[in-house]
Amino acid sequence: MLISSAYAQAPAGAPPGGDMSFFIMMILMFGVLYFFMIRPQMKRQKETKKMIDDLQKGDEIVTVGGVVGRITKISDAYLTVEVAQNTEMVVQRAAVQLLLPKGTLKSIQ
């Protein structure tokens, strides 16, 4: 006939130690993931939280939206930022992206 019959084959035996090597590989992959992705992200979050908690009146900041200004008032969750002479806006503390060195705004305005 033109079509031959297909017969089931016996399953091949698993290589010795195959389960253990898979387990070790998974542990190594998690370790690499932790040290190259998770740990640096946690460190960056701690630094950002510390910077936001340490904000003071007179600090010069850049917000997430790119607004540059000087802090004039501070409350628990909000900051009042002077962006131009006699122009203030209220932003959330979490919107602060960068703390500028003192005197930076003198060169900008």
Contact (CB, 8 A) for 67 and 81: yes
**Residue 69 CB coordination number (10 Å):** 23
Fold (topology level) of 56-108 = SH3 type barrels. (2.30.30)
Task: Show me where the domains of the chain are located.
Answer: 18-54, 56-108
Q: pLDDT per residue over 4-38, tens digit each?
A: 777 767 666 666 656 788 889 999 999 999 999 99
**Residue 100 CB coordination number (10 Å):** 15
Which one, of 53, 58, 66, lies nearest residue 98 by Cα? 66
Q: pLDDT per residue over 56-108, tens digit each?
A: 999 999 999 999 999 999 999 999 999 998 899 999 999 999 999 988 888 65
Residues 55, 28: Cα–Cα separation, whole Å:
40
Distances (CA, A) of 2 to 6, 7, 8, 9: 13, 16, 19, 21
